[in-house]
Each structure stands twice: as C-alpha cells, then as structure tokens.
A and B are shown apart, each in its own frame.
Chain A
C-alpha cells in the first residue's frame, strides 16, 4: 500500500494538482506566473522553527556568504553541520539577541525557480498571540511546526485556531526532528492523524503533513528519501510552490477610494486599489454611502488606458458624470453591493495592554474609511478548548472575542469570509493613536439587535419598575439580545406611540 494516503492526510485540493506529480523543472528561471505566496510559520524555538526557516533560506540560497560570515562571527559557534546559528539570522533586534527570543513579526524573502515567497515569522508563545494574528492577516498558508518527540501540543491547537480565524485555509504540518525518533513512520502517521482531526474540526480541508529534519535539511528543500524511503510525498518547498494564493471571494466590484485626483479642470479620477471583483468601462456602479449611481467611463493607469481592472490592481477610475465622491467612500458594482448599516458583528484580536473596553469610542479603519465606533464584547474564545465563553467585559490583550460594533455614521462591509479586504478592520485608540485591535466582520446586525426585520414585534410602554422586574426574569435575560429598550419620560413615550398610530 502506498504510504501517501496516511502520510499526506488529505492531498491538496484539485486546483493544485496531485502532490506527487512534481515535474523536475531545472534550468532557466521562468517568468513568475503568480504573485508571491505569503506564508506564516507557527511553532516555538523548541520545535526548531528558526532552524526550519534558516534552512529554507539557506538551501534556496537566500542567505549570502557575507551574512553567513557575520552570523558565524556573532555566534562564535556552529551547529553539527558546520552551518551558522540560523536563529541569529532571524532575530535581528538587539533585544532579541540578548534575550534569545523572538519578539516581533519578521518578514523573510526567498525564491525558487518557480515562485517567490514572503514568510511572516512570528513568535510561538501564548503572550504573542497578537503577533501571530498580525502575521496571519496577510498569509495564504500556515506552516505549523511540531517536534516529532512531543507531538501536538496545546499551542498547536492555538496556532491552528488563530490561523483559521484569520482566514487561512491551507495548512502544512511539519513534523520536525524526525531524525531524533529514528525516522519512525508509525509515529509520524499518528501525529498526522491527530492533526487531521484537529484541522477538520476547524473546517480546514487543505492539509499536508511532512516528516522533516530541519537541521539535516531533509524534506525541506531537498528530499529526504535516503533516510525516509517510506515517505513519497512532497518536500515543504514543493508544497509551497503549488499552494494557491488567496484572493477575494466576492464577485462584486469594490473600490475603496483613497484619493481624488484633479490635476486639471477637465480631469477627475478616483484612485484606489480594487478590493474585489472586476470593472470595465460602461459598468454601472454605486457610490457608498451616498447611494448615487454612475457609469464607468475610463480606467486610467500610467501605462495605458485599460479596458478592465481586477482585484489587486491600483487604478484611477473616471465616471461618466459629476458625482460627489471623496476619500473613504467605496465605489461598488450596482448588482452586488456590500452591506451598509450602523451595527455589525465581528471577531477581534486585542493587541495592546489596555485591552478593548466596552462603551469606549475607538477609531475604526477599514479600506480607506475611518470612523468612530463603540465595541460591545459578547464572548471570548478559550484557545485551550476552542470554545466561546460569554464575556461582556474588557477583552484583555491577546484575547480573541466576538463583539458588536455600533457606528454613528453609515458603515459598509462585506463579511470577512467573502472578502478579506472589505471585511477587515483595525481599531485605533484615540487617546494613544496606537493600533489596539484587528477585526473581521462576520455579519450585519439589523438596527434592532439580533432579529430579522420582517419578524413581528410588540412595543410595550410600561412603568419603569415593572419593566425592571420583567427584565430580571430568566426568560427575559436569556433573550436579552433580541430586545430593544429605551427609557423615556411618560409624555415622550405617549408621543411615540401616537406617532405609530398615525
């Protein structure tokens, strides 16, 4: 029986082809036919993460001789293979070198003949959840690293959970230090199986598990079949070369307007990066939040006047009529619009020591739009168990929470699941100007909390003490989210009800 069925636990999906069918392309560097693949590496120093990344950089020749010489000079020692201490290559800040830890997200670059890669290298410990979330926000794929001797750890679950929340749909499990367990296939299969269960429980289906020795360079860039004849799957780099880049899922055209270009009386263009869908001259578009409609006259770029633009393109759009458009507006397709409203549900990661406080007014930036928002936490994720627990207080640093967002002015979003750009936001503390949270929109809330607008409702006007007694009941408390409560003087309440009767 072929090993691959268990070893690779679920091959990459159809798009990427069969993992074992790698053409051995050698020779001239081909034109890169995709954008760089962005990946995040999750694991701790103990798992050999720095060694793995160092190995990737070294074996793809991204580290040059003079850099290696500096490493040798700084570390004063070499590992068993006469290679420099790769950890020093990655931990570039003096504080990190002094403390022997990785503090921050570092970005690394390497390329093979087929593709180039951007690695977000983030620290593994629990207090650095925020750094991992930062690195994961732009990643197409996550490499999760485990020590073959230790197997899956609590942190593996935590890393997988955070990566999934941030929208990553492709996982590679690197079972490192396989040499230290005598290249034990049964152990590898067991770890792979456990990981598959974990990933499936998180809804991730694109999973590849690879037995690796980062120190010896086996199954990283070069294959390790000499030591592991039982493994006929891809090396790490082969998986990365075939991985898909994540693109916006929405079909609708989205252009957050960054600036209005008016070089002369006769020209007025709206500059921004297409955040979803495509556009061509003649298309009907809506300007949000105003709701005005216009047609696309031209797509202007430095090189040529284009006949179409797609997600990712930085363009200047010219409309066929005079409309009021300014920075922060979004130009969208007429037939597939994002949701607009004053109230949305989201998941956020708290990034700073003060946490995210209920009722405090923050700045929210999404696309090119910045507006005021208040946050009401409703639950917090327990990263150990993967369960959401009710939580209405301040979300502490590194917490992942579900929250309600309330805006003073119209906001517009897609769900993050549908569009990673128009569904993402950051929160900025107006007191410190620091970025205090990253967030992902899950859904729009109707203006009456948590219910569908077509449902039947009853408006009661009660004495305040009676209302308080009703609200104290268990029945009411259980469905508190569905109720909309205003306290008014009796005269005003009568006016409101009279207004409804009219």
Chain B
C-alpha cells in the first residue's frame, strides 16, 4: 500500500529508539495537547525561544505536536546582546537544521542607551532588555498567544500560574485574579489586544527535562556540559570570562576551571557550577544529589524576595 505521508517524511531516524517511560510519556502528551490547543484557538501564536535546555525541550515538543506538518508559528528570541556566544551559534544551527522561522528582537532603546548589566545593575538591565524588549516584540508582532518554557517547580509565584496565563493589553499578569483552570479544559477566549502566555512544561521538573533530553536525544548548548573554561569570581558567582567586553575589576583574576552551567541566560549574570559532568548521565546523577536549586545561579532572582512575581506582573516571562 502506498504511503499517505508526504515523501520527505518517510525517512525517520528515530524509529528504533526505545519508548519513553510512562512518566515522561504523560508529560509529553500533556505538552503536545497544549501546543495543539493553542495553535487551533489563537490567530497568531509565537514561541518564546531562549536557546536554553527548557526551550530545546519546548521546541522538540512543538515539532512532535505538529508532525508531519511544519511548526505553524515563528520562534521569538529576545536577545540582550549579552548572551553566551555559544548560545547564538547553537541557535542559528538549530533554526537552519529544523527549517524554523526565527524572529530576533533587541530592545533598540537599550542598545541606543548602551544599557549593560555592568553599568545599570542586574535589575534595571533585566527590566529594560528582557521585560521591555519582550513587550516590544510581542506588540510588534501582534501575537495573541506566546508559548514559554516556564515550569511551576522553578519558583514560588510560578507554582500558582495557569497553563494559559492571561495578560492584559499592556502584558500585565494579575496573580490574584486568574481564570480557574479545571481538567485539561483551557479557556482561550480573549478580547482584541489581550493575550495568553501558554506554558506546556508547567508540570515538568528539572530532572524531567534532563531525562527527556536524554531519552529523546535532544541537542542542547554545549555549555551545559563540564569543560575547562576561563572564569572569574564576581559577586559570589563564577562567571565565564570569554567575552572581550568583560573588563576585570581590581583584584579579579581570570583562571581556567572545569565548570558547567545549570541554566543559561546573559553571561555576566549567570553563575557557573564546578562540575565534572560531561555526559547526560553525569548531569542527571549530579541533579539527583544536588542540594541547591537551579535558579541559585541566577542573579536576577536574588535581587529581592518576590522578585519573580514582580517581574512577571510587569510582563516578564
């Protein structure tokens, strides 16, 4: 019998892989369901793509959800200009390999006023380059739904966020007035100008992400794996000292150390961890005995208590 699949889709290198365990399969099914629901209910969705491990999983799930079709929405990368160089090259490679549409946005005001994490402090810098930049990009595209890779286990205010998280026309989140969300029935009804952030990974934990990356053989930025890299200690964090724009302060010494990153963001604000984990197996076993959370390496979360809720109310993802 002739195949009814398009000719190009017949070759599938993954047919020999072992099936997912029921735990990961349930999480995958839920995420695919959310992707399809949003794509069907909204006029103009977009997927926030930050190039990190959660985004990599999110992208993989999107490709699965719409197979054998193409991912029916563009990816949006809100760049700050201060991302790790390896993230950008990885991103460009992925976009090319998987035939995706990428929209990159850098806040022009931030660029014009030369807003940097060094000159403006992490809080103001994040506000301008990430939160404001995101709002600009969403407004410019007229998107009525934006997928994000946030997980409820990441942070206290996220634990209460819905899978369809409603935003006002100025992108505000009102945590005290959220729509109830029962069963798997999501309410996608909005007025013009309003939008929804959709979180297919809401119920995933950090270990789930890594086990899924391993099971599905999902490509990730090499910075997640341990390697000898040039670093410097600053504000109690070990940061990567590769970028020529990083100026050493008095007393700071650049040295090589075997490190890796547990999360990836802007290099001046992301702390490395000392680790020998060079494989996914290593990372997973390291995680299972870890005594600190992944966001510990993020400067922006430590500015003040409840800082994530505040940022989210203002439109941060």
Chain A residues packing against B (C-beta within 8 Å): 29, 31-36, 64-67, 70, 73-74, 89-95, 97, 103-109, 111, 116, 118, 130-131, 133-134, 137-138, 258-259, 261-264, 266-267, 269, 271-273, 297-298, 300-304, 312-314, 316, 318, 327, 351, 363, 365-366, 368, 420-421, 424-426, 428, 433-435, 438
Q: Write 17 A-B pairs (CB below 8 A) sorted by A numbering.
A: A29-B288, A35-B23, A36-B203, A64-B293, A92-B160, A93-B160, A104-B160, A104-B175, A106-B159, A107-B202, A258-B37, A267-B4, A267-B6, A271-B65, A303-B15, A314-B28, A426-B185
Nearest CB to that of B284 among chain A residues? Answer: A29
Question: A301–B66 Cα gap in the complex (Å)?
Answer: 9
Q: Does B207 contact A (CB under 8 A)?
A: yes
Question: A245–B98 Cα gap in the complex (Å)?
Answer: 37
Question: A458–B226 Cα gap in the complex (Å)?
Answer: 83
Chain B residues packing against A (C-beta within 8 Å): 4-6, 12, 14-15, 17, 21-29, 32-33, 36-37, 39-40, 63-70, 152-153, 155-160, 175-176, 178-185, 187, 189-191, 202-203, 205, 207-208, 288, 290-293, 295-296, 305-306, 309-310
- Assess whether B179 is in contact with A435, with CB atoms less than 8 Å apart: yes
Chain A residues with CB under 8 Å of B37's CB are: 258, 368
Q: Which 10 A-B pairs have the closest CB atoms?
A: A92-B156, A35-B26, A32-B23, A263-B69, A314-B32, A302-B64, A137-B182, A64-B293, A438-B182, A433-B189
Partner of B21, one of A31, A133, A258, A262: A31
> What is the total of A-B residue contacts with beta carbons within 8 Å?
191
Question: A133–B29 Cα gap in the complex (Å)?
Answer: 24
A36-B26, A106-B160, A435-B180 known; A302 and B36 CB under 8 Å? no
A34-B23, A271-B36 known; A130 and B180 CB under 8 Å? yes
Nearest CB to that of B204 among chain A residues? Answer: A109
Nearest CB to that of B306 among chain A residues? Answer: A94
Chain B residues with CB under 8 Å of A90's CB are: 156, 159
How far is the CB of A8 from the nearest CB of chain B, in Å?
A: 28
Chain A residues with CB under 8 Å of B291's CB are: 64-65
A97-B306, A314-B33 known; A118 and B203 CB under 8 Å? yes
Chain A residues with CB under 8 Å of B14's CB are: 302-304
Partner of A438, one of B4, B39, B180: B180
Question: A14–B64 Cα gap in the complex (Å)?
Answer: 38
Question: A33–B23 Cα gap in the complex (Å)?
Answer: 7
Chain B residues with CB under 8 Å of A434's CB are: 179, 187
- Assess whether A107 is in contact with B40, with CB atoms less than 8 Å apart: no
A92-B156, A259-B40 known; A266 and B175 CB under 8 Å? no
Nearest CB to that of B2 among chain A residues? Answer: A266
- Assess whether A93 is in contact with B175, with CB atoms less than 8 Å apart: yes
